[in-house]
Chain A
Amino acid sequence: MSRRRRAFFRNRTAIAGLVLVGVVVLAALLASAAPFDPETRTDSFRTPPDAEHWLGTDENGFDVFSRLVHGARSALLVALAAVGIALAVGVPAGLVAGWYGGWVDGAISRAVDVMLAFPSVLLAVAIAAALGGGSTGTVILAVGIVIAPPFVRQVRAAVLQVRPLDYVAAAKALGASDARILFRTVLPNCVAPILVLTTLSTGIAILDAAGLSFLGLGPPETSPDWGVMLTKARVYIQHDEQWMLLPPGLAISLTVLGFNLVGDGLSDAFDPRRLSRS
């Protein structure tokens, strides 16, 4: 492990990614210390940045900087919850499919095939719409479901690799239950690919959630959400307020970049062969 850790920390781009992610996490943690409440209007509106409002105010009179900072919290929350769903669904499904094989594997793998037969953005749109749309919860659920299939595949592949190994057979011979073997013996050996996939999926989840917001299926317009901010800024692309495109757009891009860099770094550190990212 320590060799890998050293490999990771020697990777300069990975460190850059870690810094980016760190900044976002810090912003999310300290969001409450933002100068203004993100959902209470101030006296001015649609003003450019100045000493009081560091990134100006939007048409509602909300302080853009405060919303940006709170947006970090919202983005991380949505992404982590969505990835949480993907893990909660994908890991057990992958373990079961890989371990038992047979018709169980067949059923799970076919289900994954069906999910993967859809372009993910459209599937997310359909799920969010079917759930009623318009709230953070539906975004989390829609994104979570859409990013789950790769987890199933990854875990299943990892199980298939370790299943024939001696120490698994030994555990079996000792009479351990399936659940015990799966979670105590097999799962720890799948940690590396899951970790990489989790990191990369967090970035994808942030992008997908922003996309849903942009299509009008995101959280309510008062929410300090980067996708919402970007959608509202679209009105200004021909105007003096063009700069309003920048804060949320850059925030999303840099955050996702951060997660991608960390993911790449982890992937390199764990395994010389590149993990594919479907």
Chain B
Amino acid sequence: MNIRPLLPVPLLLLCLGCGGGGKEKGGEARPPLDVTKLLAQAPDDADPKPGGFFVWGRSGDATLLDPADVTDGESVMVVTNLFDTLVAFKRGSTEIEPSLAVEWSTSPDNLVWTFLLRDGARFHDGSAVDAEAVVFSFERQRDPAHPARRATSAFSYYQNNFKALEKVEAVDARTVRFTLKEPYAPFLPALALFNCAIVSPAAFASEGKDADGRYKYNFAQKPVGSGPFVFEAWEKDAHITLRANKDYWGGAPHVEKLIFKPIVDAQARLKELESGSIHGMENPGLRDLEIIRNNPDVRLLGSPGINVCYLAMHTGKKPFDDVRVRQAVAFAIDKKRIIAAAYDNMAEPAVSMCPKTMAGYDKTLIDRARDVTRAKRLLAEAGHADGFETSLWYPDVQRAYLGDPGTTAIQIQQDLKEVGIDVEIRKIEWSAILKATSNGEHEMCLMGWMADIFDPDNFLYVLLDRDNAVEGTANNLSFYKGERVHELLVEAQRTYDWQRREQLYKEAQEILFEEAPTVPLVTVPDFRALRKDVRGYTIYPAGGEYFRHVSFER
């Protein structure tokens, strides 16, 4: 029985740049970039040079460093270096390998999971990583009255991913038992997520409790884990500095210090990389990739991303309650031009809400080609021969899957204009758009999703199931409530047989393609740029950054 999704990533041939520019004259003769030809890993040194400061340029500062409470990528990439989880992703892969837990077993009904902890792992404050610490780390996320929970903690990842978890118990000092309420196929990959990091109970207790019975210690600003790096300093918006954990159970990191430097602007970030004041960076501007490739001092790394950017239509509102209107929109959109104009040909058109890079993607789907006549005909059949007016909301910040939100929104507006739909586009602050769209206040919105758990459930159930279409807490922004899709997705969630699951997901994706509650637009590869003398850096497809193996050339 194979409960782990297959790994199609290396098999997938992503050929980018097939799009070409405008109609004929737009796209200048830029050679297409084949992501599969880019390395996802900088070469390792057999005998790495110890020492040195490694500075990582990124697009923003962290907000918090409490692994259970972080939600943004900038905070996540810091905590993944400070903490360990029970199980972890294999280097550069989405496969699960032992970490703090060395082995585990499940009951026949898959409801009870027992983990044996590594012997001798210690937190940065010297206390031992034992079963009590594991229980502590999960309990504080579950129990609203837990002393290690602050009045303001949201713990949203736990809320979203561990609804099936009933209890966590320490059997003995090295054994932990998890009991589930119902079978949950993505359980193991979910445990590899940063919010399941094991935190030091001793650190929390070190400053006593306040009048409300909560620990005073400010963990989110002074995190203590067991990971390869130890927290040293955080100067907001300037840098976060970590130092190597010489006693790390998996072997000490090579560099002496790891510094995260926020540089909001992608161009400025690149300029710093070129001048050598940073050694590596995330999210290079897609338009800068050629510059990076042509610079002998730096190296471009890439890996097919596990994400999807999509257009959601609120199916509870007119005229999007009519499937013909939604199909018309799907026919009207020119993904090629969006990719050329907003992604500089550095993205892959998406067909399903489950990205091609994710196991369970339905390979038999064939995308609609742009067809203005057909779109107009569908609109006419639906009684909108003269088109209609609507609005499209989009976020004001770049995301990994949304390199240029404004241009993408404008291209959709122009696409729809050509079939007679008059779209008013509105840019909305990130926090505001998350709230408004989950309340269902929009007509159409531009959004995206990155895998946090490596499982198709994380895309299809989260983004399209009616369970997630509750106003106020919705992730299903089209508010699509198809009965059959719901049955299929829930069954898939409780099934541990991968082949059966794959079939269920295939059927669901076919229905969703026809029903078109959303138009999947693109999947964007992950790019990183590094100085040439950096060794041992690897892109982790499931997100987060891990710098333990990084070193400088001798």
Direct contact of A and B (CB under 8 A): yes
Interface residue ranges, A against B (CB under 8 Å):
40-47, 57, 59-61, 134, 216, 220-222, 232, 234-239
Q: List 24 A-B contacts (CB under 8 A).
A: A41-B410, A43-B22, A43-B26, A46-B21, A46-B26, A46-B341, A47-B28, A57-B26, A59-B341, A59-B404, A60-B414, A61-B26, A61-B414, A134-B427, A220-B425, A222-B410, A234-B267, A235-B267, A235-B287, A235-B404, A236-B287, A237-B267, A238-B271, A239-B287
Q: A88 to nearest B CB, angstroms? A: 29
Nearest residue in A to B288 (C-beta to C-beta)?
A238
Task: Select one of A43, A60, A234, A236 contacting B411, CB under 8 A.
Answer: A60
Task: Select one of A44, A59, A234, A239 contacting B23, CB under 8 A.
Answer: A44
Q: Which residues of B contact A239 (CB under 8 A)?
A: 287-288, 291
Q: Which residues of B contact A41 (CB under 8 A)?
A: 410-411, 414
Chain B 415-432, CB-CB to A under 8 Å as 1, else 0, gives: 001000000011110000
Nearest residue in A to B406 (C-beta to C-beta)?
A221
Asked if A59 meets B342 with Cβ closer than 8 Å, knowing A40-B417, A41-B414, A43-B23, the reply is yes
Kindly state whether residue B156 has any CB partner on chain A within 8 Å.
Answer: no
| Residue pair B396, A216 in contact (C-beta under 8 Å) | yes
Kindly state whether residue B270 has any CB partner on chain A within 8 Å.
Answer: yes
Most chain A C-beta atoms within 10 Å of own C-beta, residue among B21, B22, B270: B22
Interface residues of B in 405-461 (CB under 8 A from A): 406-407, 409-411, 413-414, 417, 425-428
Asked if A220 meets B287 with Cβ closer than 8 Å, knowing A43-B22, A43-B25, A238-B267, the reply is no
- Cα(A59)–Cα(B287), bound, Å: 11
Chain B 389-406, CB-CB to A under 8 Å as 1, else 0, gives: 000000010000000101
| Residue pair A45, B22 in contact (C-beta under 8 Å) | yes
Kindly state whether residue B285 has any CB partner on chain A within 8 Å.
Answer: yes
Q: Which residues of B contact A61 (CB under 8 A)?
A: 22, 26, 341, 414
Kindly state whether residue B235 has any CB partner on chain A within 8 Å.
Answer: no
Task: Select one of A47, A222, A236, A238 contacting B26, CB under 8 A.
Answer: A47
Q: Which residues of B contact A232 (CB under 8 A)?
A: 406
| Residue pair B414, A40 in contact (C-beta under 8 Å) | yes
- Cα(A126)–Cα(B413), bound, Å: 30
Kindly state whether residue B210 has any CB partner on chain A within 8 Å.
Answer: no
Nearest residue in A to B394 (C-beta to C-beta)?
A221
Kindly state whether residue B24 has any CB partner on chain A within 8 Å.
Answer: yes
Q: Which residues of A contact B425 (CB under 8 A)?
A: 220-222
Chain B 271-305, CB-CB to A under 8 Å as 1, else 0, gives: 10000000000000101100100000000000000
Q: Which residues of B contact A235 (CB under 8 A)?
A: 267, 285, 287, 404
Q: Which residues of A contact B24 (CB under 8 A)?
A: 43-44
Task: Select one of B267, B287, B413 contacting A222, CB under 8 A.
Answer: B413
Q: Which residues of B contact A44 (CB under 8 A)?
A: 21-26
| Residue pair B26, A221 in contact (C-beta under 8 Å) | no
Interface residues of B in 230-279 (CB under 8 A from A): 267, 270-271
Interface residues of B in 337-351 (CB under 8 A from A): 340-342
| Residue pair A238, B291 in contact (C-beta under 8 Å) | yes
| Residue pair B22, A220 in contact (C-beta under 8 Å) | no
Q: A244 to nearest B CB, angstroms? A: 12
Q: A218 to nearest B CB, angstroms? A: 10
Q: A131 to nearest B CB, angstroms? A: 14
Interchain residue pairs A-B with the least CB separation, the first 9? A221-B406, A43-B23, A44-B22, A44-B26, A45-B26, A44-B25, A41-B414, A45-B22, A60-B410
Q: Which residues of B contact A234 (CB under 8 A)?
A: 267
- Cα(A59)–Cα(B25), bound, Å: 13
Q: A264 to nearest B CB, angstroms? A: 36
Nearest residue in B to A241 (C-beta to C-beta)?
B287
Q: A225 to nearest B CB, angstroms? A: 13
| Residue pair A46, B410 in contact (C-beta under 8 Å) | no
Q: B286 to nearest A CB, angstroms? A: 10
Q: Which residues of B contact A59 (CB under 8 A)?
A: 341-342, 404, 407
- Cα(A227)–Cα(B410), bound, Å: 17
- Cα(A207)–Cα(B530), bound, Å: 39
| Residue pair A221, B410 in contact (C-beta under 8 Å) | yes
- Cα(A58)–Cα(B356), bound, Å: 31
Nearest residue in A to B405 (C-beta to C-beta)?
A221
Q: A190 to nearest B CB, angstroms? A: 42
Nearest residue in A to B396 (C-beta to C-beta)?
A216
- Cα(A234)–Cα(B426), bound, Å: 21
Starting from the known contacts A44-B26, A46-B22, A238-B270, 14 additional A-B residue pairs (CB-CB under 8 Å) come to A44-B21, A44-B23, A45-B21, A45-B26, A45-B341, A47-B22, A47-B25, A57-B26, A59-B341, A60-B410, A220-B426, A234-B267, A238-B271, A239-B287
Q: Which residues of B contact A222 (CB under 8 A)?
A: 410, 413, 425
Chain B 27-45, CB-CB to A under 8 Å as 1, else 0, gives: 0100000000000000000
Q: B393 to nearest A CB, angstroms? A: 11
Q: B496 to nearest A CB, angstroms? A: 47
Q: Which residues of B contact A40 (CB under 8 A)?
A: 414, 417
Q: B71 to nearest A CB, angstroms? A: 22
Q: Which residues of A contact B396 (CB under 8 A)?
A: 216
Most chain B C-beta atoms within 10 Å of own C-beta, residue among A42, A45, A57, A232: A45
Q: A37 to nearest B CB, angstroms? A: 11
- Cα(A57)–Cα(B342), bound, Å: 14
- Cα(A59)–Cα(B425), bound, Å: 17
Nearest residue in B to A231 (C-beta to C-beta)?
B406
Q: Which residues of A contact B341 (CB under 8 A)?
A: 45-46, 59-61
Most chain A C-beta atoms within 10 Å of own C-beta, residue among B340, B396, B406, B425: B406
- Cα(A45)–Cα(B287), bound, Å: 14
